[in-house]
Amino acid sequence: MGNNTEGLLFAHHSFDNHEQVVFCTDKETGLKAIIGIHDTTLGPALGGTRMWNYASEQDALTDVLRLSRGMTYKAAITGLDLGGGKAVIIGDAKTEKTDALMRKFASYVHSLSGRYITAEDMGMETRDMDIVHEVTPYVTGISEALGGAGNPSPVTAYGVFMGLKAATKYRFGSDDLTGKRVLVQGIGHVGEELVRQLVAEGAEVIISDINAVRLQEVSTKYNVAIHDDMNTLYELDVDIYAPCAMGATINDTTLAVLKAKVIAGAANNQLEDEVKHGKVLRDKNIAYAPDFLINAGGIINVYAEIAKFTREEIMEKTANIYNTTLEIFALADEKNIATQAAAIAIAESRIQAKRNEKNIVL
Ligand code: NAD
């Protein structure tokens, strides 16, 4: 992928041979949405719907293209029979989201006849998925009362924890977290649960968030330190950095000062430039656990609704993130490539094998 931003879609810098991109509009409800289906070789494209007040339609398109591609890799490396998709609705979820708009959006999802299955993402709640479910069966993350699998965040946090432990074992020779200094950035649904697990294993946790109230709450609850100076955050003398807020925090600026030897967190798209920064991480001997691999607990949880997994099966598959993370580190060493590249290679090889099986020639 190059860097030019010319061209609406096929020459877009984040276009990666996406199978289908659907622009959905409705004058009456004000709906403006884009559904991105990246690849359905392994199964229907599953991925959440994000409602965000994008600065421009270009930003919304970039987001859906990047996120849907990420979902393809996440499902493939996790061994799920799913493809990658994602949807974005342009608008402020707090003021512009209505039941009528969600129903209209759901009718577009339905029109794809199951090629795309939606779920919750930023700006969405379980209640919204329940409304979508009134219009189409192609939705996951509905309430437990309607047969849904419940809140995915604790499962996501468990997968991140297992990936973090595997990366620690690789980098420090043991996955014992006793006394390890861990910075958790973002103590929301996933971050707080990760803090709980880290503290239970004897790690020395430092938390950071833009929400001062949450910081106090979580600090008191788990007796952990707060770091509230954003200017010095990345210079902290920690062993492990767990990004659990926003993406692109691993970039030229942060890599110049980062002291952590392990990076493992829940945030999507942590590497600002996955090729360039993946390589820098390798050169600096920082063990980076690829985000789309270790934050897959949430998708395992929603996939359980389709595959009818039991709770034990969900936790078992999520725990396996530990083994897959170690395999990725081993492959990266063997091929002398970044862990991100190794993870993508494994995901792509699974997709290619399925293509060969189906005799699909591209
Ligand atoms: P959340 O909204 O519950 O929590 C995010 C937290 O990050 C909030 O407390 C927020 O105040 C904080 N935050 C936002 N900007 C920040 C900044 N600049 N610096 C520090 N803190 C900041 O979200 P979540 O569900 O916990 O998800 C966390 C991350 O993990 C997101 O990037 C999400 O996309 C990703 N993720 C979540 C799941 C899941 O199951 N919830 C699954 C896969 C990936």
Instruction: Write out pLDDT tens, residues 42-70.
Output: 999 999 999 999 999 999 999 999 999 99
Residue 360 pLDDT greater than 80, yes or no? no
Q: Which residues contact 35 (CB under 8 A, 6 or more apart)?
A: 20, 21, 22, 24, 64, 85, 86, 87, 108, 109, 112, 116
**Residue 185 alpha carbon to ligand 1 centre in Å:** 9
Tell me the best of 244, 270, 271 to mutate to test the pocket of ligand 1, counting ligand atoms within 8 Å of each CB and taking the most: 244
User: CB of 53 within 8 A of CB of 92?
Assistant: yes
Tell me the best of 121, 158, 190 to mutate to test the pocket of ligand 1, counting ligand atoms within 8 Å of each CB and taking the most: 190
Residue listed under structure tokens 């043991």: 174
> Can you state the percent helix, strand and coil of the chain, rounding each to 5?
45, 15, 35
Give CA angle at 345 (344, 349), nearest 5°. Answer: 115
Residue-averaged pLDDT of the chain: 95
Kindly report, residue by residue over 201-217, the tens digit of the pLDDT.
999 999 999 999 999 99
Query: Do 3-71+84-146 and 153-296+323-347 show the same overall fold?
Result: yes
Kindly report, residue by residue over 120-149, the tens digit of the pLDDT.
998 999 999 999 999 999 999 999 899 888
> Which residue CA neighbors atom 41 of ligand 1 most closely?
153
Q: Which atom of ligand 1 is nearest to the CA of 211?
A: 11
Residue listed under structure tokens 């998925």: 129
At residue 149, the pLDDT reads 84
User: CB of 83 within 8 A of CB of 357?
Assistant: no
> Which residue CA neighbors atom 2 of ligand 1 most closely?
188
CATH 3.40.930.10 fits 3-71+84-146, yes or no: no
Kindly report, residue by residue over 142-188, the tens digit of the pLDDT.
998 998 888 889 999 999 999 999 999 999 999 999 999 999 999 99
User: CB of 124 within 8 A of CB of 51?
Assistant: yes
User: CB of 253 within 8 A of CB of 231?
Assistant: no
At residue 281, the pLDDT reads 98
Q: Point out the residues that are catalytic.
A: 86
CATH number of 153-296+323-347: 3.40.50.720
* Residues facing residue 20 across a β-bridge: 37
Residue 4 pLDDT greater than 90, yes or no? no
At residue 358, the pLDDT reads 83
Q: Determine how β-strand 287-288 pairs with β-strand 31-39.
A: unpaired
Question: How is the chain split into domains, by residue range?
Answer: 3-71+84-146, 153-296+323-347
Give CA angle at 268 (267, 269), nearest 5°. Answer: 120
